[in-house]
Amino acid sequence: MKPAHSANHKMQLIGSLTSPFVRKVRVVAAEKHIDYELVLDAPWSADTRVPDYNPLGKVPVWVLEDGKTLFDSRVIVEYLDGISPVAHLLPKDARARIAVRRWEALADGICDAAALVYLERKRPEEQRNPEWIARQLGKVRAALEVLSEELDKRDWLYEGGFSLAEIAVGCALGYLEFRFEGEIDWRRDHPNLSELYDRLMQRPSFKDTAPVA
Ligand SMILES: N[C@@H](CCC(=O)N[C@@H](CS)C(=O)NCC(=O)O)C(=O)O
């Protein structure tokens, strides 16, 4: 794996402005006031350099000062939470931490399934598999249902307050709004998630990272 740059450089985040996983990392870095340089690279473009930094060819990739790289988004956010004492986003208590990570896994799973649908629909019509699309959309709907039920009437998923759980869920909701507006109406079906997203969007970390085509 080639180092991204010479030693003792500012940390970098390699990613796109549409990826919900990149957004999750950007929100965490903003909440924790961590300084870095955003390097835009779309992994689907012909001239992408992402595979030089991550053999999986996926963003986000975080480049450390010494040129070493971190991926995927779950590893990066844990790293970022650990290097700065500002605004702990992962609880110290083991049970609470696992609960937050489980919500993150649900939110990331929504993004994985939704991204597969988006990509499948970009294929020529005769190559698309409607059963595959329906299967993935079923996962998105089921996960939204569980998140909404578990949030219930509370302000935050994690009772300790704003955490990585809401960040991951907010990024998933924002991605659905961006790519599936009018099709997956999570605002109508789950008013509590709608209210949560509106509240998150009042934070500069979310407002400044809304997906753009
Ligand atoms: N589990 C990974 C998922 C990352 C991911 O799927 N990124 C997409 C963009 S949203 C990507 O880079 N896809 C390119 C590819 O699959 O080749 C994470 O949490 O970082």
Does ligand 1 come within 6 angstroms of the Cβ of 19?
Answer: yes
Q: Which residue has the tokens 């030089």?
A: 52
Q: Closest Cα to atom 13, ligand 1: which residue?
A: 58
Domain residue spans of the chain? 12-83, 94-207
- How close is the Cα of 158 to the center of ligand 1, in Å? 26
Copy the structure tokens of residue 112.
């994985």
Q: Model confidence at 9, in pLDDT bands (50, 70, 90)? A: confident
Three-state SS for 12? strand
To test the ligand 1 pocket, which listed residue (22, 58, 79) has its Cβ within 8 A of the most ligand atoms? 58
CATH topology of domain 12-83: Glutaredoxin (3.40.30)
Does ligand 1 come within 6 angstroms of the Cβ of 62?
Answer: no
- How close is the Cα of 10 to the center of ligand 1, in Å? 23
Q: Do domains 12-83 and 94-207 have the same CATH topology?
A: no
Q: What is the CATH number of domain 94-207?
A: 1.20.1050.10
Q: What is the pLDDT of residues 62-112, one digit of tens each?
A: 999 999 999 999 999 999 999 999 999 999 999 999 999 999 999 999 999
d(CA 66, CA 106): 33
pTM: 0.96
Cis upstream peptide for 72 (omega within 30°): yes
